Amino acid sequence: MARNVAFNGVGHLVAPSLADARMLMYQSKVDRELFDVIDLDPYGSPAPFLDAAVQAVSEGGLLCVTCTDMGVMAGNSAETCYSKYGAVSLKGKFCHEMALRIILHSLDLRANCYQRFIVPLLSVSADFYIRVFVRVFTGQAKVKASASKQALVYHCVGCGTHHLQRLGKATSHGTGFKYGAATGPPVGSSCEFCQQRHQLGGPMWAEPLHDLAFVQRVLAALESSPGRFRTEERIRGMLSVVTEELGDVPLYYTLDSLSGTIHCNTPSLLQFRSALLHAGYRVSLSHACKNAVKTDAPPAVLWDIMRCWAKIHPVKRERLAETSPASRILAVEPTLQASFALRDDANPSSRKRGLKRFPENPEAFWGPKARAKAGGGISPSLQEKRKRHQNKRTERSDDGTSLKNFPCKRFKEGTCSLGAQCCYSHEEAAAAPDAPPP
């Protein structure tokens, strides 16, 4: 680092340290020399650094945090997520947005210990990681509002419907606010649509993820200096979707999970969005998921729209188990008459403009590689590992000789013209009871 600093001639700007980052940040607080910007981007979880970081950033300063431990944050080990971030993650379709809300919850909670609170500027889920940009302020009065900014999530294991439960209640009271306990729960002991159980997740940040004025300024800065960033197109695409997101609606559904639950074919994005708009609700995409449907329509309306869709595109009911979520949802008559006639405003501007919104991976096996081994060894690449373990349990012979064990049905009927070339047996005695057709 020291050589790089000298090489670039930035000695007056950069002071490298070989130290525990936490000790450096705590010392800055003792010395009253707080940092205007702190960027946490460790390999793995930033959790051990959060306590020091929320204290060491200056008043109104910028704190940037990257989390690459997406397995934990997206619901693969909810108990580990709790131990690191103080919130239980869920494996719902909305898991990437929930991961953003979990790190924001964790940051706000830790800041609250020191009479500080966060204001998110931009929160993004990209590739294999998430990254949040927040400002940190001090104010005992505002910290009181923090409980009412967090919410628990009830997620139905059958149909995927979710409901939010705020942790506190803030009511406007003259010039200020009055705070109290929230009331609930928002759901019964089983799901009102499919009668299955709910999983409980959170708490998570339930307020807006982005400051739209800030995002617009970033977009404007991008336009005013074209060619400055190599990822310009991608920044423009992603931030444009961010500006279209419904800020006051946490989490989302996905089109394929809605249609998958009732086993019908999937309406097009424009048809489904049109139906929601016709019914008088707002709808948006999410930058965190390609098929996301973010809407202020209650779940009952979503399922009514799906029931109407299933009337036009019938589902094979006889194949469904009586207790399946699909049967239970479709057994109810919709009270809403959905219209799937396309509306012009159903097509989001970022889509109309053909922006690069959800880029594909540039190559196969692209993404973070294995952590370096202690002592400088190289761990085997993912591809090598896959090669070694793939098809371990299913040893198949591809030479076709195994088929000779099965009798030829056409030979039996006297219609096989292949003779000895036929891959099936032409010996009467070899007849097996469950032979496949040739």
203 in contact with Zn ion (CB under 5 A): no
- Interface pick for Zn ion out of 87, 136, 143, 194 (rule CB under 5 A): 194
Q: Which residues touch 135 (CB under 8 Å, ≥6 apart)? A: 60, 61, 62, 63, 118, 119, 121
Q: Shortest distance, CB of residue 385 to Zn ion, whole angstroms?
A: 38
- Interface pick for Zn ion out of 156, 238, 251, 269 (rule CB under 5 A): 156
- Interface pick for Zn ion out of 94, 193, 411, 424 (rule CB under 5 A): 193
Give the number of other Cβ atoms within 10 Å of residue 77's Cβ: 15
Q: Shortest distance, CB of residue 194 to Zn ion, whole angstroms?
A: 3
50 in contact with Zn ion (CB under 5 A): no
151 in contact with Zn ion (CB under 5 A): no
> Of 103, 74, 77, which Cα lies nearest the Cα of 91?
74
- 3-state SS string for the chain: CHHHHHHHCCCCCCCCCCCCHHHHHHHHHHCCCCEEEEEECCCCCCHHHHHHHHHHEEEEEEEEEEECCHHHHCCCCHHHHHHHHCCECCCCCCHHHHHHHHHHHHHHHHHHCCCEEEEEEEEEEECCEEEEEEEEEECHHHHCCCHHHEEEEEEECCCCCEEEEECEEEEEECCEEEEEECCCCCCCCCCCCCCCCEEEEEEEECCCCCCHHHHHHHHHHHHHCCCCCCCHHHHHHHHHHHHHCCCCCCCCEEHHHHHHHCCCCCCCHHHHHHHHHHCCCCEEEECCEEEEEEECCCHHHHHHHHHHHHHHCCCCHHHCCCCCHHHHHHCCCCCCCCCCCCCHHHCCHHHHCCCCCCCCCCCCCCCCCCCCCCCCCCCCCHHHHHHHHCCCCCCCCCCCHHHHHCECHHHHHCCCCCHHHCCCECCHHHCCCCCCCC
299 in contact with Zn ion (CB under 5 A): no
191 in contact with Zn ion (CB under 5 A): yes
Q: Shortest distance, CB of residue 50 to Zn ion, whole angstroms?
A: 35
How far apart CA 281 and CA 297 sit, in angstroms, is 6
- Of residues 193 and 406, the one with the C-beta less far from Zn ion: 193
- Interface pick for Zn ion out of 159, 302, 346, 408 (rule CB under 5 A): 159
306 in contact with Zn ion (CB under 5 A): no
158 in contact with Zn ion (CB under 5 A): yes
- With CB under 5 A as the contact rule, which of the stretches 174-182, 186-194, 271-279, 306-314 interacts with Zn ion? 186-194
- Of residues 193 and 205, the one with the C-beta less far from Zn ion: 193
63 in contact with Zn ion (CB under 5 A): no
Q: Shortest distance, CB of residue 324 to Zn ion, whole angstroms?
A: 11
285 in contact with Zn ion (CB under 5 A): no
Q: Shortest distance, CB of residue 161 to Zn ion, whole angstroms?
A: 5
Q: HSE of 177 in the Cβ direction (CA atoms, 13 Å)? A: 14
408 in contact with Zn ion (CB under 5 A): no
302 in contact with Zn ion (CB under 5 A): no
Phi, psi of 405 (to 5 degrees): -75, -15
153 in contact with Zn ion (CB under 5 A): no
CB contact at 8 A, 205 and 104: yes
Site for Zn ion in 160-179 (CB under 5 A): 161
- Of residues 237 and 299, the one with the C-beta less far from Zn ion: 299
Q: Shortest distance, CB of residue 189 to Zn ion, whole angstroms?
A: 12
154 in contact with Zn ion (CB under 5 A): no
Site for Zn ion in 340-369 (CB under 5 A): none
Site size toward Zn ion (CB under 5 A) is 7
- Of residues 259 and 271, the one with the C-beta less far from Zn ion: 259
Q: Shortest distance, CB of residue 93 to Zn ion, whole angstroms?
A: 14
- Of residues 193 and 340, the one with the C-beta less far from Zn ion: 193
- Of residues 146 and 324, the one with the C-beta less far from Zn ion: 324
262 in contact with Zn ion (CB under 5 A): no
Residue number of the CB closest to Zn ion reads: 191
- Of residues 134 and 297, the one with the C-beta less far from Zn ion: 297
- With CB under 5 A as the contact rule, which of the stretches 150-158, 236-244, 334-342, 412-420 interacts with Zn ion? 150-158
- With CB under 5 A as the contact rule, which of the stretches 70-78, 92-100, 158-166, 417-425 interacts with Zn ion? 158-166
Binding site for Zn ion (CB under 5 A): 156, 158-159, 161, 191, 193-194
